[in-house]
Structure 1
Amino acid sequence: MSETISISSATLISSKTIVGSDVFSPTDEKLGTIEDILVDKVSGRTIYAVLSFGGFLGMGERHHPLPWSTLAYDVVKNVYRVNLDKKHLEDAPSYDRNKEFSWTPEYGRTVDSYYKSPNYWN
């Protein structure tokens, strides 16, 4: 049985609402869509958002893990914003959405280093 939760808090959001959210640059360029979120099992903190970026009609599309700290929620437009442009994402760590991928601490350190975010993996 599926449970529906109504959230009226201004600061809480359901993961079902996050997945599928659009992500924009500061110049209002749509960069992609959040495909997934990665949560630390022990602390319960959201660590990464996985951004679907590039390609056309799903072909050539890549998944780009973004440290959660790089995203800011735009309450006016109801989207997420990152201080990045397409060029920065093209060079970012990513993986093919259609291939098996195994996350490792070393890969996480690479992501954190690329975005100059606090290293979760220490």
Structure 2
Amino acid sequence: MPTKSGHTTAIRASRVIGTNVYNGTGDKVGEIEDVMLDKTADNIMFAVVGFGGFLGVGEKYHAIPWKLLDYDENAGGYVVPFTKEQLEQAPAHGITELTENDGRRVRDMSFSYYKVDAPAQNLY
């Protein structure tokens, strides 16, 4: 089933990684470094977006809830509904922190900051 913009709902993670991320005014704010999955709940936990740094040095990683990323074909990347200042003030993490406590601490901080309800968890 296509999305509201006419795209298919399925995409390979390898096509998402490396895609640019823009704010609502068209400024590039980073790129998707990875996608964090909750393998027990069949959910995407968040997109890992890298901001700043050079060749991985000094780079900050932001966990952005997947539902906030909107692919814009004209931009050739994802657009988030936040200003550069809001993104700069968002919780930032080192790459190893993203998976500590099964990623839930980072996910909860991110969902709280962006005011998004966390997906219901499946209990197997």
TM-score (structure 1 length as normaliser): 0.79
Paired amino acid for 1:80? Y
For 1:92 and 1:55, the matched residues in 2 are separated by 16
How many residue pairs get matched?
112
- Shift in Å at residue 50 of structure 1? 0.2
Whether contact under 8 Å (1:33, 1:51) holds in the other structure is: yes
Ranges in structure 1 where 5+ consecutive residues have no aligned partner:
1-8
What secondary structure does 2:100 align onto?
coil
Where does structure 1 differ by over 6 angstroms across 4 or more consecutive aligned residues?
Answer: none
Structure (1 or 2) with the greater helix fraction: 2
Distance 1:108 1:12, change over 3 A: closer
* Structure showing greater Rg: 1
Q: How far apart are 1:76 and its partner, in Å? A: 2.9
Q: Which moved more, 1:79-88 or 1:56-65?
A: 56-65
Percent identity between matched residues is 35
Selected match of 2:90 from 68, 89, 92:
92
Q: Does 1:107 align with 2:106?
A: yes
Q: Does 1:62 align with 2:60?
A: yes
1:77 partner letter: A
TM-score, normalised relative to structure 2:
0.78
Question: 1:23-71 CA distances to partner (integer Å, 9 max, x unpaired)?
Answer: 0011110000000001121332222000000224433110101011111
Letter of the 2:108 counterpart: R
Contact 1:50/1:63, CA 8 A, preserved across alignment: yes
Aligned alpha-carbon RMSD (Å):
2.1
Q: Which has the higher contact order (CA 8 A, sep 6+)?
A: 2
Cα offsets for 1:88-112 (capped at 9, x unmatched): 1221111134xx3243333322111
